[in-house]
Amino acid sequence: MNKMINKLSLASLGLVLLSSSVFAHGPTPQRVDEHITIDAEVATVWQKVNAFDQLDKWHPAVESITMQDETTRIVTLKSGGEITESLDESDADRHYIGYRLLKENIEAMPVSFYTIGIEVEPNDTGSKVSWSGRFYRADTGNFPPENLNDEAAVKAMTEYAKTGLEGLKASLEK
């Protein structure tokens, strides 16, 4: 009889754990896709975008860049805080650069991880620059506070992309 009760107890516990895991899920990936047209040749725009150590020269939100090595940079933001990023890809033929967050700082950017790709393509009036990001919110638990939830992450990453693209345009169309 005790063995049967133990089996029933284990089965009940298993159902409870299974049902709670159905409702418990982590964050879903978020995305940002922004574009801008710049009145400059692709080669000129690509030269700026591809200079991994020069983001502070055109992104208005960036105070400075410190390179740790050829592929790792520390981005100091004007709003305060630092984020560490790592270069994953630089494709001169595609005019594409891809990098990712290497070390999170949720006070500086309310995300736990991101990848960003910037691509430069020819356009009728010069170049089209596309900024695409994939990311997760800062608090990866099931009930994040407002400042660390999906909406906060999307807002921050969208603003960062738009500001960056506008700064790139302004730096090239002087």
Q: For the chain, which domains are there? A: 30-171 (3.30.530.20)
CA separation for the pair 87, 99 (Å, rounded): 4
Per-residue pLDDT tens over the stretch 110-164? 999 999 999 999 999 899 999 999 999 998 888 888 888 889 999 999 999 999 9
* Structure tokens that stand for 56 in this block: 């502070």
Alpha helices in the chain (DSSP H): 2-23, 42-50, 150-172
Give the pLDDT band of residue 13 (cuts 50, 70, 90): very low
Write down the pTM of the prediction: 0.84
